[in-house]
Amino acid sequence: MNKYVLSRMQYREMVNSEYVRKAINPISSSDVGDVARVRTNLKNPKTFALINGVGYWIFDNAPKRVVPMAIAYLAWFDGLNINIEQHQEALDKEDEAFLNEYRKRPKTISDEERFELEAAFGKGETVIDVITGEKIKY
């Protein structure tokens, strides 16, 4: 039994989240496989940790990362003591830290990125970085 209770809104989000929806009503064998793979990782202490109600992916040579909400909802659905509010706060903080770091990165375009931009938009166009608002002419 999960010690954390969901609000009505959180419950709706949970039952409509990707992995819970696949667990309740799988449409294909790949849905079954997706849910099984995530559940296996959630049970493995080498890949998942639950710390103060927040779920984290554990990596060998990298910092732990907060799991996406769809996976947090599946963990809660399966009875793990995920605190959805604390989890969302931790995920928001992690996302904000990533975005702040992204905004500080040098704004150079690699040859590969230039090729992809030309293939997608045509040569000599200007695109806008939706995170920074910066206009990029290539």
Strand partners, 84: none
Asked if residue 3 is part of any domain, the answer here is: no
Same domain, 62 and 75: yes
Query: How crowded is residue 12: how many other Cβ atoms within 10 Å of its Cβ?
Result: 11
Confidence tier at 1 by pLDDT (50, 70, 90): low
As a whole number, the mean pLDDT across the chain is 90
Query: pLDDT (tens digit, 9 = 90+) per residue, 56-70?
Result: 999 888 889 999 999
For 11-55, write each residue's pLDDT tens digit: 888 888 889 989 998 999 999 999 999 999 999 999 999 999 999
What DSSP state is assigned to residue 72? H
Q: Are 41 and 88 found together in one domain?
A: yes
DSSP state of 1: -
Domain that holds residue 88: 8-105
Question: Do 118 and 76 lie in a common domain?
Answer: no
Q: Are residues 98 and 38 in the same domain?
A: yes
Domain contains 2: no
Indicate whether 127 belongs to any domain: yes
pLDDT at position 41, please? 94
DSSP string, 57-78: EEETTEEEEEPPHHHHHHHHHT
Per DSSP, the residues of 72-102 read: HHHHHHTT----HHHHHHHHHHHHHHHHHHH
If you compute the radius of gyration of the chain from its CA atoms, what whole number of angstroms results? 19
Here the tokens at position 8 are: 């009505």
Domain count, the chain: 2
* Run of H or E residues at 43: helix 29-43
| Pair type for strands 126-128 and 62-66 | unpaired
